């Protein structure tokens, strides 16, 4: 075990040195190219530099994720703290408002540490979304899981979760390239809630067979998610705890009506 860890660290250091050498060579070539192009670089050169930088960031990101999974506990802590800081800041400032520098600083690191683990803010947010959705899916698939009371997740501590969920949906809408990774997870999370509703109906004595969720279960899961999400937006805007309690009561009544209608 110890030997494997040492070997992995040696390999990581060798990879790091190789990346530094390549970066230095790239920097020298870039200076030469800019010198030959004159003081005003053409738009074509700028575009090529942008594409090259993106490819380098993606390559470093891929390597960083592999090393984080196989690396030391310290690397895992760094990655976890960056994701935690990102979650807090994105909930506070929104995805567009939270910069890489802000996230790194909030986690207690430099931008260099950020890019050693994630190639871009987009990649970090995709990983954050994947982990959050995976947690939801795991919780709903547990045989001991129960459906939370409608409107129960409207406390002050739940506002952050609501904001992150909204940012996730907005991100998926605004970044079509991320949908291939996020849409299956969003669908699986929603299916998990439908399964919880299906099991709760069975335990409540409803006359329906066990097995996969029905269309009615999926419809109710959609309503459950929509009402709780919208309630999470409205509740903090209500004056005092009474207004918040009214929102929760409204959600419960609507879910009960939909449940009775189904």
DSSP state of 212: S
Q: When comparing pLDDT for 225 and 28, which is higher? A: 225
d(CA 103, CA 100): 5
Domain ranges, ordered by start, for the chain = 2-117, 122-261
What is the per-residue pLDDT across 186-219, written as a single tens digit (0 to 9) for each?
A: 888 888 888 888 887 776 555 455 678 889 889 9
> What pLDDT band is residue 79 in, cutting at 50, 70 and 90?
very high
d(CA 163, CA 132): 13
Q: Are 83 and 91 in contact (CB under 8 A)?
A: no
Note the pTM of the prediction, 2 decimals: 0.62
């Amino acid at each position: 075990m110890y030997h494997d860890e040492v070997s992995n660290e040696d390999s990581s250091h060798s990879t790091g040195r190789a990346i530094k050498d390549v970066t230095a060579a790239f920097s020298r070539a870039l200076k030469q190219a800019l010198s030959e192009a004159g003081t005003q670089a053409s738009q074509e050169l700028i575009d090529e530099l942008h594409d090259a930088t993106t490819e380098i960031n993606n390559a470093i990101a891929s390597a960083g994720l592999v090393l984080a999974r196989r690396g030391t506990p310290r690397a895992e802590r760094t990655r976890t703290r960056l994701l935690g800081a990102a979650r807090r800041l994105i909930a506070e400032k929104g995805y567009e408002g939270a910069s890489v520098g802000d996230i790194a600083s909030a986690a207690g690191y430099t931008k260099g540490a950020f890019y050693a683990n994630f190639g871009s803010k987009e990649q970090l947010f995709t990983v954050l979304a994947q982990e959050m959705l995976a947690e939801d899916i795991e919780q709903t698939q547990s045989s001991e899981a129960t459906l939370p009371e409608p409107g129960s997740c409207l406390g002050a501590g739940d506002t952050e979760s609501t904001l992150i969920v909204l940012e996730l949906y907005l991100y998926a809408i605004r970044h079509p390239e991320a949908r291939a990774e996020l849409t299956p997870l969003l669908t699986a999370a929603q299916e998990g809630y439908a399964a919880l509703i299906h099991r709760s109906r069975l335990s409540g004595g409803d006359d329906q067979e066990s097995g996969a969720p029905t269309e009615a279960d999926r419809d109710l899961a959609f309503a459950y998610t929509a009402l709780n999400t919208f309630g999470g937006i409205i509740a903090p805007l209500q004056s005092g705890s009474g207004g918040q309690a009214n929102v929760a009561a409204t959600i419960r009544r609507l879910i009960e009506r939909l449940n009775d209608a189904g």
